[in-house]
Chains A and B, each alone.
Chain A
Amino acid sequence: MTAGTTDLPTRTRCFQVHAADNVATALDDLAPGPVHVLGVAAGQTLVATEPVALGHKIALRSLAENQPVIKFGVTIGLATAAIPAGAWVHLHNCRSQVDERSSHLDVKTGAALDTLYA
């Protein structure tokens, strides 16, 4: 992995695993603004268009609806809407190709919305 990245300003780092990936993982709670890419595409930058929490994904380039979302070099889901570069990629704009239930969860907490408590 990349050395010498500790001196980057905090709240601006994301990590790209594979060269084919079109998303990177936030290593900080990203604020809108410039973001530094670590990992396979170390040295590149992009602009976050909205806040992206640590561990969540940011689009490295714009994606069309139904386009594969690629991380680790494999398809991890399909875009359910057009996604601009720098946007947060999660349950609200990406769906699993196998797991239907995960498309019906609260986008912030991940809590199931299809379970009755009455």
Chain B
Amino acid sequence: MPESFQVTPPTPWTGFLRQDGRKGIRNLILVIYTVECASFVAHAIAAGEEDTHVIGFSGCYDNAYAIRLMLALATHPNVGACLAVGLGCEYTQPARLAEVAAHSGRPSDWFYIQEQGGTRSGTACGKAKLAQLRKAIQASAVRTPMDWSDLVVGAECGGSDGTSGLAGNPVVGRFYDFLVDRGGSAVFEEVVEMIGLRDILLSRAATPAVAAELDLAYRKAESYCKAVRQYSVSPGNFAGGLTSIEEKSMGAFAKSGSRPIQGVLRVAQTVPHSGLWLLDSVPDDHFMQFGYTNPNDTEGIMDLISVGAQIVLFVTGRGSVIGSPVAPLIKVTGNSRTFERMNEDMDFNAGTVLSGERTLDEAAMDLMKMVGEVATGRPSKPEALGHREYFVMYKHQDTPGLAAGCHA
């Protein structure tokens, strides 16, 4: 195992202590709609409100996975208060979402649009409730010192090209080593982008039990890809020089760094203790016919936020113009050309490692400084641009409950 780079990390910062003991780097209000029919009003409520983000679920029929994901975001460390907005006919219950958020100590409220009268009256009702919630979290905010050991960082890559595996992901991987060595938590995902790397993945397990967990997750991802006849590789990846999923996998896996993997997390499961973790967002075997694992980058980023990541790193060689609600997104590219062309959206250029301007360790330490600044409150570029893309889908990771639901 390589020695950690010995330099002084950025000074600790001040965060927000929640009643459940979690520590956030933002103090946000989250508006959650419970069916597509309520989405317009939910966005109208949040319009012009700097501290308010929106997520929601489009389906009328409920889904255990989607509810767990929304609850994980409602009780996320960066979220101080929650407002659930329903139409009134759907299965997903806004009152129950608000109840769980309130139980975690977060001021919360909810209403049905049908009971308020419609678009304008529903929006007015929501705006009034929002003002009350803001007053409540401003009055009760508890500031707390935070350092690297309080931080959970997620990493995902998308729009990868031939530079992602050479620079973007290795720089994130080295930063992950630094973070883990300072007691922080690092989460990576995309098991479908480890196809071909079973032995390499298993060799990173912290214990034999973890190796068995990793093997299960790997085999599930492999059979999933075979079943849907789609590997996690896109036209942009090929155009960017990646020829096969095996090649993309090796590049993607580099973002995990070199520290031992502590275990496999499921979506919406809070990180149990510090260290490096693999997030499994692949649907369980029985339900594979019902949907894709990560249909787009935004969906994967939501999964990382659901395990408690206060900041997410997004590595994109080709460039991207997405952001995220709840946790700021920091966009990293290993492609200097992309960094120059899309400078208004890209936060960090890891391509300087390839040109010889910085070593891998220097670039990773610069990335760590940037993460520290964003944790301190400086908005990342997508955050400042107002990007708040989200995606909550029907998915099933419900094998433990399967027996109870199969007696028909």
Bound form: Cα–Cα A96–B354 in Å: 26
Bound form: Cα–Cα A101–B195 in Å: 15
The reply to whether A54 and B162 contact each other, CB–CB distance below 8 Å, is yes
The reply to whether B241 and A105 contact each other, CB–CB distance below 8 Å, is no
Contact of A6 among B196, B231, B247, B357 (CB under 8 A): B357
Given contacts A15-B354, A99-B231, A110-B235, contact A72 B243 (CB under 8 A): no
Measured CB to CB, the closest approach of chain A to B11, in angstroms, equals 29
The reply to whether B356 and A97 contact each other, CB–CB distance below 8 Å, is no
Report the contact-size class of chain B (Cβ under 8 Å from the partner): 35 or more
Bound form: Cα–Cα A95–B245 in Å: 10
Residues in B neighbouring A17, C-beta threshold 8 A? 165-166
Measured CB to CB, the closest approach of chain B to A5, in angstroms, equals 4
A33 interfacial by beta-carbon distance below 8 Å = no
Residues in B neighbouring A3, C-beta threshold 8 A? 356, 359
B13 interfacial by beta-carbon distance below 8 Å = no
Residues in A neighbouring B383, C-beta threshold 8 A? none
- Total of A-B residue pairs, C-beta within 8 Å: 128
Q: Which parts of B227-269 form the interface with A (CB within 8 Å)?
A: 229-231, 233-247, 250-251
Residues in A neighbouring B165, C-beta threshold 8 A? 17, 72
B24 interfacial by beta-carbon distance below 8 Å = no
Bound form: Cα–Cα A12–B318 in Å: 21
- Per-residue CB contact flags for chain A residues 1-45 toward chain B (1 = under 8 Å, else 0) read 111111000000001010000000111000000000010000000
Residues in B neighbouring A2, C-beta threshold 8 A? 356
Given contacts A3-B359, A111-B235, contact A98 B250 (CB under 8 A): no
The reply to whether A57 and B355 contact each other, CB–CB distance below 8 Å, is no
Contact of A99 among B162, B166, B245, B355 (CB under 8 A): B245
Bound form: Cα–Cα A41–B261 in Å: 31
Across the two chains, which residue of chain B brings its CB closest to A88?
Answer: B241
B22 interfacial by beta-carbon distance below 8 Å = no
The reply to whether A74 and B238 contact each other, CB–CB distance below 8 Å, is no
Bound form: Cα–Cα A3–B361 in Å: 12
The reply to whether B236 and A54 contact each other, CB–CB distance below 8 Å, is no
The reply to whether B233 and A102 contact each other, CB–CB distance below 8 Å, is yes
Measured CB to CB, the closest approach of chain B to A110, in angstroms, equals 3
Measured CB to CB, the closest approach of chain A to B202, in angstroms, equals 14
Bound form: Cα–Cα A77–B245 in Å: 9
The reply to whether B359 and A95 contact each other, CB–CB distance below 8 Å, is no
The reply to whether A105 and B247 contact each other, CB–CB distance below 8 Å, is no
The reply to whether B197 and A74 contact each other, CB–CB distance below 8 Å, is yes
Measured CB to CB, the closest approach of chain A to B89, in angstroms, equals 36
Bound form: Cα–Cα A53–B243 in Å: 13
Across the two chains, which residue of chain B brings its CB closest to A53?
Answer: B241
B306 interfacial by beta-carbon distance below 8 Å = no
The reply to whether A76 and B337 contact each other, CB–CB distance below 8 Å, is no
A55 interfacial by beta-carbon distance below 8 Å = yes
Residues in B neighbouring A89, C-beta threshold 8 A? 243
Residues in B neighbouring A72, C-beta threshold 8 A? 165, 247, 250-251
Measured CB to CB, the closest approach of chain B to A102, in angstroms, equals 6
The reply to whether A1 and B237 contact each other, CB–CB distance below 8 Å, is no
The reply to whether A96 and B244 contact each other, CB–CB distance below 8 Å, is yes
B360 interfacial by beta-carbon distance below 8 Å = yes
Measured CB to CB, the closest approach of chain A to B75, in angstroms, equals 39
The reply to whether B360 and A76 contact each other, CB–CB distance below 8 Å, is no
Measured CB to CB, the closest approach of chain B to A16, in angstroms, equals 10
The reply to whether B335 and A76 contact each other, CB–CB distance below 8 Å, is no
The reply to whether A110 and B236 contact each other, CB–CB distance below 8 Å, is yes
Residues in A neighbouring B238, C-beta threshold 8 A? 90-91, 102, 105, 109-110
Across the two chains, which residue of chain B brings its CB closest to A54?
Answer: B337
Residues in A neighbouring B230, C-beta threshold 8 A? 101
The reply to whether B161 and A96 contact each other, CB–CB distance below 8 Å, is no
* Chain A residues within 8 Å of B, Cβ to Cβ: 1-6, 15, 17, 25-27, 38, 53-57, 69, 71-72, 74-77, 89-91, 94-102, 105-106, 108-112
Give 4 closest A-B pairs by Cβ, nearest first: A110-B238, A55-B162, A55-B241, A56-B241
* Chain B residues within 8 Å of A, Cβ to Cβ: 161-163, 165-166, 195-197, 200, 225, 229-231, 233-247, 250-251, 317, 335, 337, 353-357, 359-360
What are 6 contact pairs spanning A and B, CB under 8 A? A75-B196, A77-B246, A99-B195, A101-B230, A102-B244, A105-B238
